[in-house]
Amino acid sequence: MNKRDLIQKTADKTGFTKKECEAVLNALFETITETIESGEKVQIIGFGTFESRERAARTARNPRTGEMVTVPARRMPAFKPGADLKQAVVQA
């Protein structure tokens, strides 16, 4: 399912127009992005938690040259599914 499909399905379930659903989804995605960029978590009980996690610096091998290179530490977005979401997927 892509974003367009998600907007269509949301419009079908809610009775809102596709434009209204698109505006809400865009605002939701933007809010989640801004929040995890600032280092905070977005916790939706039952669904899951969006957060940023620090990945440690590490040594890796360049597959083209075989040379060992240092990959610097960085923050990455992460999602941890909630209990209700896990249970729904298991029962599907």
Q: For residue range 34-91, what is the model confidence (pLDDT) as tens digits?
A: 999 999 999 999 999 999 999 999 999 999 999 999 999 999 999 999 999 999 999 9
The helix or strand, by DSSP H or E, that contains position 8, with its residue range, turns out to be: helix 3-14
Question: What's the pLDDT score for residue 43?
Answer: 98
Whole-prediction pTM value? 0.81
19-35 pLDDT tens trace: 999 999 999 999 999 99
Q: What is the DSSP letter of 4?
A: H
Domain 42-92: which CATH number of 3.40.50.920, 3.40.50.620, 4.10.520.10, 3.30.565.10: 4.10.520.10
Question: What's the pLDDT score for residue 13?
Answer: 96
Spell out the residues 6+ positions from residue 55 whose beta carbon is closer than 8 angstroms to its own. 73, 74, 75, 76
What is d(CA 49, CA 90) in angstroms, rounded to the nearest whole number? Answer: 19
